Amino acid sequence: MASKRAAPSSDLAALRRVFDKAQRIVVLTGAGVSAESGVPTFRGAGGLWRTWQAQDLATPEAFERNPSLVWEFYHYRREVMASKHPNQAHIAIAECEKRLEEQGRRVVVITQNIDELHLRAGSKNIIELHGNLFTTKCLKCRTVEKNYDSPICEALRGKGAPNPDAADARIAIENLPKCKQEGCDGMTRPNVVWFGESLDPDVLEKSHNELNLCDLCLVVGTSSVVYPAAMFAPTVAKRGIPVAEFNIEPTSATQHFGFHFEGQCGSTLPAALAPTESEQHYKKP
Ligand code: BJW
Ligand code: ZN
């Protein structure tokens, strides 16, 4: 007979006792960590751009078919980020990293997000699994470049409106964002990981190292449906390591975890990561 798994606990004091002893903490984040900053999640309300879902545009096939449309989508998301700011969840994670670092302990963020809000909150140990909205990759010379230009190219100025009745800009390829390497002028694409594409092997290796060594894992604001990230925390839990999920609702992965804290992570996470009484006794070795 199949054994029944115990329901995850929502005992904050119990999680705080685990947190108190943890030396290496991995915080795995998804779109929900940025929701309270006003950045729409993929699978929640507001997840549509025009009439499309992420699965329709975040693919190499979509870019091949209509690079102008896909660039409009990413241009819109780049521009939107100028008015968005890290929220209490990003800040709690960054402050926790800084504080624990002084105690010789480690906090690392493995994020599926491309919005740089962890960086802007002050986190230093960040692994970006799905790339970054503010870097481009040249399709000719393969150079990956930081790019904060606004707009990213003249042809995209004023384009990218998200409403369903907005017209396609239909920008010619030669007017889409170009590589800035001297003498290249190649076409660029957003440096993000689309469905069906492999994740950067170095990024995956770094992630696995952190996941293999962590003694506490927090899973924040992800639906845990997109692989390989979806199996990270369940794999850690299988190793017998405590895993705590912070989400506004249960996910398909909740059953694998020892803890589940329901609610907006801008409230639940700061409560979990606040300094504990015994922290003052920690000294950096
Ligand atoms: C709150 C909150 C608040 C709200 N507080 N919480 C194995 C099985 C089946 C399929 C596959 C498999 N292995 C690979 C695949 C194929 C595919 C995949 O996973 N498909 C699934 C959909 C089934 N994976 C891939 O293609 C990956 N590549 C790969 O594995 O290569 C090898 C391979 C290929 C093909 C076959 C087999 C092997 C690449 C995946 C790349 C994902 N890219 C995107 C776009 C990135 C660029 C961009 O942003 O545009 O990444 S898709 C999109 O989903 C984005 C996200 O990072 C990712 C995850 O979404 P996330 O973050 O979880 O967001 P939501 O919206 O889903 O959830 C938000 C959550 O927050 C919800 O739970 C809310 O409740 C919660 N929330 N407010 C707390 N205030
Ligand atoms: Zn180039």
- Cα diameter, the chain: 67
Query: Which residue among 75, 130, 256, 260 is the active-site one?
Result: 130
**pLDDT tens per residue, range 10-45:** 999 999 999 999 999 999 999 999 999 999 999 988
Q: Which residue has the tokens 């709690």?
A: 92
Instruction: Say if CB 223 and CB 245 are below 8 A apart.
Output: no
Tokens 């390829």 sit at which residue?
173
Q: Please tell me whether 42 is known to bind a ligand.
A: yes
- For residue 90, give the 3-state DSSP assignment: helix
For ligand 1, atom 23, which residue shows the shortest CA distance? 226
Indicate whether residue 282 lines ligand 1 (CB < 6 A).
no
CB of 31 closer than 6 A to ligand 1?
yes
Question: How many Cβ atoms from other residues are within 10 Å of residue 165's Cβ?
Answer: 7
Q: Which of 227, 247, 260, 268 to mutate to test the pocket of ligand 1 (most atoms within 8 A of CB)?
A: 227
The residue whose C-alpha atom lies closest to atom 56 belonging to ligand 1 is: 112
Q: How many CA atoms lie less than 13 Å away from 186 in the CB half-sphere?
A: 15
pLDDT digits (tens, 9 = 90+) for 193-238: 999 999 999 999 999 999 999 999 999 999 999 999 999 999 999 9
pLDDT at 2 over 50: no
Strand arrangement, sheet containing 259-262? 126-128, 106-111, 24-29, 216-220, 243-247, 259-262
Cα of 183 from ligand 2 centre, angstroms: 8
Question: What's residue 1's pLDDT?
Answer: 46
Ligand with an atom nearest the CA of residue 143: 2
Pick left, alpha or beta for residue 122 (phi over 0 → left; psi -120 to 50 → alpha; otherwise beta): left
Under DSSP, the state recorded for 133 is: E
Write out the DSSP string of 209-222: HHHHH-SEEEEES-
Q: Is 130 a catalytic residue?
A: yes
**How far, in Å, are 11, 89, 203, 244, 247 from residue 273 at the CA level?**
14, 10, 26, 12, 15
pTM equals: 0.97
Q: Whose CA is nearest to atom 29 of ligand 1?
A: 198
Quote the pLDDT of residue 150: 98
Please give the full DSSP string across 52-83, using - where no structure is assigned. B-HHHHSSHHHHHH-HHHHHHHHHHHHHHGGG
The answer to whether residue 264 scores a pLDDT higher than 50 is yes
Share of the chain above pLDDT 90, in %: 92
What are the E-state strand segments in 18-174?
Answer: 24-29, 106-111, 126-128, 131-138, 144-146
d(C-alpha 218, C-alpha 271), whole Å:
13
Judged against a pLDDT cut of 80, whether residue 281 lies above it is answered with: no
Would you say 27 and 211 are in contact if contact means Cβ atoms under 8 Å apart?
no
Lowest-pLDDT range, 52-56, 71-75, 186-190?
52-56
222 Cβ below 6 A of ligand 1: yes
Distance separating alpha carbons of residues 24 and 210, to the nearest angstrom:
8
- What gap in Å lies between CA 133 and CA 146, rounded to an integer? 9
The neighbourhood of ligand 2, an ion, using CB within 5 A, equals 138, 140-141, 143, 179, 181, 184, 186
